[in-house]
Amino acid sequence: SREQNREPPGPRAFPLLGNLLQLDLKRLDKVLFDLSKKYGPVFTVYLGPQKVVVLAGYRAVKQALVSHAVEFGNREITPVFHDFNQGHGILFSNGDSWREMRRFALTTLKDFGMGRRISEGRITEECQYLIEEFEQHKGKPFSNAQAIHYAASNIISTLMFGKRFDYDDPVLRAMVEADKETIHLTGSASIMIYNVFPWLGPFLKNWRILMKNVENNKSNIRRIIADLKGTLNPDMCRCFVDAFLIRQQHPENSHYHDDNMLYSVINLFAAGTDTTGHSLQWCLLFMAKYPHIQEQVQEELSRVVGSRQVRMEDRKKLPFTDAVIHESQRLANIVPMALPHTTSQDVTFQGYFIRKGTTVFPLLTSVLHDESEWESPHTFNPAHFLNEEGKFIRRDAFMPFSAGRRACLGEGLARMELFLFFTSLLQRFRFTAPPGVSEDELDLTPLVGFTLSPSPQELCAVSRQ
Ligand code: HEM
């Protein structure tokens, strides 16, 4: 019937170009959030000829990703995502292969301590390296902002390869910097246009840079895998790659091939570095911007922990600090549109019919800044996560890791890293605007790519001892 076939509303689209001329591709998440105020929580836009259903606001996103997890649980593999991984690995794959790789990654990373005590030990060790790096002022080929990314990538490297890298290791630096550039350029207007008109690829500078980065990363990771293969001892499994190599010897199914190994490792390394590194940078920027909040964090840390190393079990006694980390993640909103999904079957959702294979954007910006969920959605307000007695409270609309079947696989690890890195750095340093710059002048405008990172600017780390 007509009623059953009602499609989500949206702005009128032109042939071929769709709504491209009406949408500011430089800040697509914001434009879509604004459109949701006119068209409601489920609406349609056309990126060129491609139809996209946008889910906006906590209720719609949660209901789709969690209550209709299967229907909304496939990944949209855009042309550029296909160029990256050829449909293998975890991030940009679907079906049985994705299911098997995701399950294997989760169980193997947990076996190696993801989210457990062993990781806590590794992260606190890495905190010391990072603090040492911050204390050295001269003669370094990289900034402390980069060191934050290297520290985050060392946590995932230890799980993947059984070892950390020195921060000046050329392979580590090449891989992290290439991933950072790749994630940034993937969100650029020209790559969005490429996804609509893929034949444009070779003419686009950004696409050529991306393809070069992909090749470089593949050869670096292949070399690391080959070294591990050369020293493999099946009785002593050292890391994720070893576990995969051992599984290849007695595969339960045909998904354990070299491409799935290569791309799963590439996915976990990239997904685990950039996001965590940028989140931590945002936390520090907010502290420099709002010194009175930083003082409250430091007061709580001194009172509850003193100068010893912070442990995960301290978190429940540090409600204000915990609230500040949550609020930083909420306001920074680093993955504004999650990764695109696609419907795995026809579905009727909130009275609208959405056909199988339709691209779906779960607009996380509209969840983390939802005006009906947050008291002051656009300001930095740790009280969002505190009750009247100052105790930490969870909020349902806190969804920076998305939700449902494709939700972030590394959430537990990322939260542990953020808590331990942030508290260790704040015990040791006070973060301020540089001399001659006022707090008001610190810039919270994000640098927009596929993720939202802080704009490049200087901060001072002043020793507190
Ligand atoms: C603060 C840090 C992080 C944030 C904010 C974050 C956020 C996200 C988001 C929003 C998604 C997309 C979910 C969707 O499509 O609905 C995602 C997917 C993913 N994340 Fe994270 N992430 C973080 C850290 C990590 C870490 C440390 C790892 C690795 C251990 C990781 C591994 C992954 C993987 C493999 C996926 C793809 C899951 C799939 O397609 O099945 N992430 N993450």
Q: What is the pLDDT of residues 11-30, one digit of tens each?
A: 999 988 899 888 888 889 99
What pLDDT does residue 158 have? 92
Q: Which of 102, 275, 342, 451 to mutate to test the pocket of ligand 1 (most atoms within 8 A of CB)?
A: 275
Please write the tens of the pLDDT for every residue from 261-304.
999 999 999 999 999 999 999 999 999 999 999 999 999 999 99
Confidence of residue 110 (pLDDT cuts 50, 70, 90): confident
Residue numbers in the known binding site are 408
Pocket (CB within 6 angstroms of ligand 1):
75, 90-91, 102, 156, 267-268, 271-272, 275-276, 279, 334-335, 338-339, 362, 400-402, 406-410, 413-414
Q: How far is the CA of 272 from the centre of ligand 1 (A)?
A: 7
Rounded CA-CA distance 78/288 in Å is 38
Q: Domain residue spans in the chain?
A: 20-463
Sign of CA dihedral 135, 138, 139, 145: positive
Nearest CA to ligand 1 atom 17: 408
Q: Which of 71, 154, 337, 408 to mutate to test the pocket of ligand 1 (most atoms within 8 A of CB)?
A: 408
Q: What is the mean pLDDT of residues 228-241?
A: 92
What pLDDT does residue 249 have? 85
Residue numbers in the known binding site for heme are 408
Q: How far is the CA of 67 from the centre of ligand 1 (A)?
A: 20
Q: What is the mean pLDDT of residues 431-460?
A: 93
Nearest atom of ligand 1 to the alpha carbon of 417: 27
Q: How far is the CA of 409 from the centre of ligand 1 (A)?
A: 5
Q: Which residues 6+ apart lie within 8 Å of 218 measured at CB?
A: 262, 266
Q: What is the mean pLDDT of residues 409-425?
A: 95
Please write the tens of the pLDDT for every residue from 138-196.
667 778 888 999 999 999 999 999 999 999 899 999 999 999 899 889 888 889 889 98
Q: Which residues 6+ apart lie within 8 Å of 381 measured at CB?
A: 327, 375
What pLDDT does residue 93 have? 96
Nearest CA to ligand 1 atom 41: 406
Q: Please provide the average confidence, as pLDDT, over all residues in the chain.
A: 93
Amino acid at 348: T
Q: What is the DSSP letter of 63?
A: I
Nearest CA to ligand 1 atom 11: 408
Q: Which residues 6+ apart lie within 8 Å of 81 measured at CB?
A: 75, 91, 92
Nearest atom of ligand 1 to the alpha carbon of 155: 27
What pLDDT does residue 113 have? 76
Q: How far is the CA of 200 from the centre of ligand 1 (A)?
A: 29
Model-level pTM greater than 0.90?
yes
Q: Please identify which residue in the block is written with the tokens 């301590």.
A: 113
Q: Which residues 6+ apart lie within 8 Å of 464 measured at CB?
A: 298, 427, 428, 429, 430
Q: What is the mean pLDDT of residues 241-270?
A: 91
Q: Higher-confidence residue: 55 or 109?
A: 55
Nearest atom of ligand 1 to the alpha carbon of 400: 5
Please write the tens of the pLDDT for every residue from 354-389.
999 999 999 999 999 999 999 999 999 999 999 999
Nearest CA to ligand 1 atom 1: 276
Q: Taking 70 as the threshold, does the pLDDT of residue 4 lie above it?
A: no
Nearest CA to ligand 1 atom 9: 401
Pairing of strands 50-55, 42-47: antiparallel
Return the bridge partners of 391, or none: none
Q: What is the mean pLDDT of residues 197-209?
A: 92
Q: Taking 70 as the threshold, does the pLDDT of residue 1 lie above it?
A: no
Nearest CA to ligand 1 atom 13: 407
- Closest-CA residue to 262 (of 210, 208, 214, 207): 214
Question: Class assignment of domain 20-463?
Answer: mainly alpha
3-state secondary structure of 123: helix
Q: How far is the CA of 270 from the centre of ligand 1 (A)?
A: 10
Amino acid at 213: N
Q: Taking 90 as the threshold, does the pLDDT of residue 2 lie above it?
A: no
Residue pair 453/146 in contact (Cβ under 8 Å)? The answer is no
Q: How far is the CA of 238 from the centre of ligand 1 (A)?
A: 24
Whole-Å CA distances, 228 to 107, 425, 443: 20, 33, 44
What pLDDT does residue 279 have? 97
Nearest atom of ligand 1 to the alpha carbon of 414: 27
What is the token pair recorded at 455? Answer: 């704009």
Rounded CA-CA distance 145/278 in Å is 9
What pLDDT does residue 435 have? 93
Q: What is the DSSP letter of 360?
A: E
Q: How far is the CA of 276 from the centre of ligand 1 (A)?
A: 10
Radius of gyration of the chain (CA): 22
How many Cβ atoms are within 10 Å of 199's Cβ, its own excluded?
8
As a residue count, the chain comes to 465
Q: How far is the CA of 107 from the centre of ligand 1 (A)?
A: 16
Is this complex scored with an ipTM above 0.95? yes
Q: How far is the CA of 402 from the centre of ligand 1 (A)?
A: 8
Nearest atom of ligand 1 to the alpha carbon of 415: 1
Q: What is the DSSP string of 132-147?
A: HHHH--SS-SS-HHHH
Nearest CA to ligand 1 atom 21: 408
Please write the tens of the pLDDT for every residue from 42-86.
999 999 889 999 999 999 999 999 999 999 999 999 999 999 999
